[in-house]
Amino acid sequence: MNGSGRADLTRDGAVATIRFSGGPGGCMDEAMEAALLEAVKAVEEDYALRACILAGADPGVFIRHYDVATLHARAAAMRARGMTFSEARPVRESPIHEAMRRMEEGRVVWLAALNGTAMGGGFELALACDLRIVAPGPYRFGLPEINLGLLPGAGGTIRLPRLAGEAKALEMTLLGRTLSPEELAAAGLAILAEDAGAEARTLARRLAGKPPRALAHIKRLVRGLPEDRPGTERALFCDLMVSDDAFRLMGEWAQGRRGIEDEPG
């Protein structure tokens, strides 16, 4: 596997953290991409984990973007083979695509601690997370691939309009416009916090204390994964009603021992 990038997984109780480092200029390379997929698989297979934080290990960088030199080399190899592509023949998933799909479809809640710049594939990875926390600073966020004659190829054209709206997504992707941390938060794409890592850890621990079955069901519905969302929502609501966690917590409310805004204990 080409590259020196890493994605190191650590665990702290029910919360995991994956830190990225070592890519060229803070970019994702093939080694980081493969390591990310293995780390995501490990998190999903560990049922003691409820939340996972993604963060950059290098100062001022989450993941800058995918290494363009690697993409250029791939393009040269494809052109040499005379390869052509069309919508009639889908391209198979790469490790980054599989990792993001697993994050979206799985039971774990994913948080991006944006402690630095994230553009292109790095921003697409943040968009695949359930929550994003961003720190103020001289950082840029967005999908400027059009400036290289490309489009966002790891879900950006799908996830950005869903999260920010079609108009904002078109403005960002057609113009290649990137946002500051404050602009990112104003667009509703992230929570602004002085220390993104610390806030992400606080939220992850809070999430880890929520009933896990309810977390998974809510995430699936909000993500829009079921085709019949209203019918599925009704079924999953009733499924939770008869679950041990909900039955206990509703009983405590009925007994006057808790309010609906109290954290589950």
Catalytic residues: 124, 145
- 150 near 93, Cβ under 8 Å? no
- 192 near 134, Cβ under 8 Å? yes
For residue 115, the one-letter residue type is: N
Starting at the edge strand found earlier in the chain, the sheet holding 141-142 runs 60-63, 116-119, 141-142, 178-179
Q: Is the dihedral of CA 227, 234, 46, 133 positive or negative?
A: positive
Residue 156, token pair as written in the block: 């950006």
- 141 near 179, Cβ under 8 Å? yes
